[in-house]
Structure 1
């Protein structure tokens, strides 16, 4: 029997955490299947949140970790049970304030049910690299672009918009918004010619948590697909805030970056 539940979304993170944590209770929001092989998940809807929380308690769960990607589901008013309906004003108000506010509201509800919310890094600390260059060799020009990008990401995060930016030669080519990282990198690929000096620094993708973000949820993540899209955008590398970003499938991500000539840098 386990006391840990993974509230899973899409992507590889739920599988990685399940591999490290051993037996867990796996739960999936309807419409966002996880990639945990052999799992028999509890499937739930936001409209039935209170019964879902009761199910977790009945299964002996004391800790939960949120892992994987989801998008805000369309709520069906007729599906709300009476007790979950009492949470609607609180949830809707938080959702209108932004992703960070919505996640804080969800954490608060889980904690009110005596469920401890823990971060993915608490389950698998090796997923969060400390400072250092993992591969490649960033140049002074890359350092300047990373500093510029970090300032942009901090400004975006302060208004709860995104966690990433693409900067080349001091110019911001793209920022992360609701469509996500992949869409941002695809946009940067379409506008790669905006670099003023074709022979200059190729630019980089920078990622960091939002200022004041509760790092137990929605910690930024980088993996092999991020490397592939950054390479397609013609970038020189990927940089991120050391200790604030999950590196998924580390060996595969580093191997892909080396093969494509990109640096990986935890600043």
Structure 2
């Protein structure tokens, strides 16, 4: 039976958890993280195939960012296991991080550097010779339409430009796995299209991209696979077609996570104006 013909796999917390899959790009088993006694991630298990463009979606507070941080060695889990390309992340974090590219947020970079300086610095942190880092930085600036901004300080960039330079810092060491949290937020349509082309080409060369996003249409259009997370658990995962199950992905998402209700009418919110306004017209 082909992937497209198989039903989506519905995941529930069970007593018996299979071992991680060393062939997967990312294999997560029974991952747990609690804050003040409350689980943000609740025994979550997930396999992300190599060479996939994988979307992770869920409502606010579902545990997406916490999961990504534990997956990439940025946040230690309370329990559970994560393997990246067959390597246990938390038994050797430094080795795992060498094959991962994580897009930082705008407040996590040295924004007093110029775009070129920031990329060169990021490359040299990865133990690249300066000349190699400089060459790659210039290639990335051109690819991201930032060549003219390469000499400007990042703190003077627009929000969309900042998003692009953050993504470029994650790619400079040519990682095998890219992890991107809301990569297209605040990016204009033209730049967004260019970024999508770059990421699609990266996947075509054998790389794996994992993105979190709130934009269902983008995930449905770009991703090969998707996982829907809610309350720290995977509600469904598989190919986009499997999870959508013949529906629009957004409708399927709402069906699985719930929470949609009829909008409350606000009596004073009247687009035609108040009675007093109408009397004075």
TM-score by length of 2: 0.29
Q: Compute the TM-score of the two structures, normalised by the length of structure 1.
A: 0.30
